[in-house]
Amino acid sequence: MLVGGKSYTWPAKVTFFRPIRASGENVSRLKLTIPTEGGKVNAKGEIHVYAYEPHDVDRYAVNDCDIDKDHLEKLKSGYAVTIDGFSAGAKARIYRIILGREE
């Protein structure tokens, strides 16, 4: 996995900068090689990390991103996918990942 020019081994824990300004947004480019039962899927895209007002539960929560089987099948078939992540407390959108298959 390549995030903002830095390489990580899949699966990986990557920390993204969360903007402080209420309407802030931080965008990073992504390149992924995702292992699957039938080989691998090469994908590229970007992640948008949004500012939000965290609640108490958000301070203890870990925000994961799981690219599920449906997303993988769509990527393998050549479709773009969007994955949204939400905060634990306020259910505010905290990130959006947009991926497409890399040929």
Could you read off the pLDDT of 14-73 as tens digits, one per residue? 877 777 777 788 898 999 888 778 788 889 999 998 888 777 787 788 777 878 889 988
The reply to whether omega before 54 is within 30° of 0 (cis) is: no
Res. 4: pLDDT tops 80: no
Which residues make beta-bridge pairs with 7?
Answer: 2
What stretch of H or E contains 24? none
State the residue for tokens 């895209």. 45
Structure tokens at 28: 């990073």
Classify residue 76 as exposed, middle or buried by CB count within 10 Å of its CB (0-12, 13-18, 19+): middle
